Structure 1
Amino acid sequence: MTRLAIVLLFDAVIVLFALLAAAAAGVVARINGATCPAAVMRAAAAFAAAITFIAALTAALAPLLL
């Protein structure tokens, strides 16, 4: 398996974890009494934070892996 494929698979798994984190943040916000639009905004913020983190991490590690 090439290094590029490993990086792409790593990113795909992280996107799945980001979606899971966003869903969890939305559910927790809803349980805490937030309205549906507020819960969606919190979920979107959690997803954006996770994707931003993984983009920075991939950019930092890509030269080492490629």
Structure 2
Amino acid sequence: MERKLLLVTVAALVAVIVALLAGILMTLGGSSLPAAIQTGATAFAATLPLVLLVMSTLGLV
């Protein structure tokens, strides 16, 4: 049970890192702050299920 919780936490942290990178890249590209936040949120929402799916497929979660 503890292992699953740690792996889900790792998946969430990976999604946060991807969201931050997406937001930073949008800001560096000259986009407005709301657009960068929206892009980061979209990246988070897309990355978390993907990482959990990969972990589930590998039998980790």
Length-normalised TM-score, structure 2: 0.79
Root-mean-square deviation (Å): 1.9
Find the aligned partners of 1:13 and 1:46 in 2 and give their Cα distance: 16
Partner SS state of residue 33, structure 1: coil
The share of aligned pairs that are identical, in percent, is 31
**Which protein has the bigger helix share?**
1
Pair member with larger Rg: 1
Distance in 1 between residues matched to 2:9 and 2:38, nearest whole Å: 23
- Residue 39 of structure 1: which of 23, 36, 39 is its match? 36
Query: Would you identify which runs of 4 or more consecutive aligned residues in structure 1 move more than 2 Å?
Result: 54-61
| C-alpha contact (below 8 Å) 1:21/1:46 kept by paired residues | yes
Number of aligned residues: 61
What TM-score results when the alignment is normalised by the length of structure 1? Answer: 0.74
Mapped to 2, the partners of 1:19 and 1:65 lie a distance apart of 20
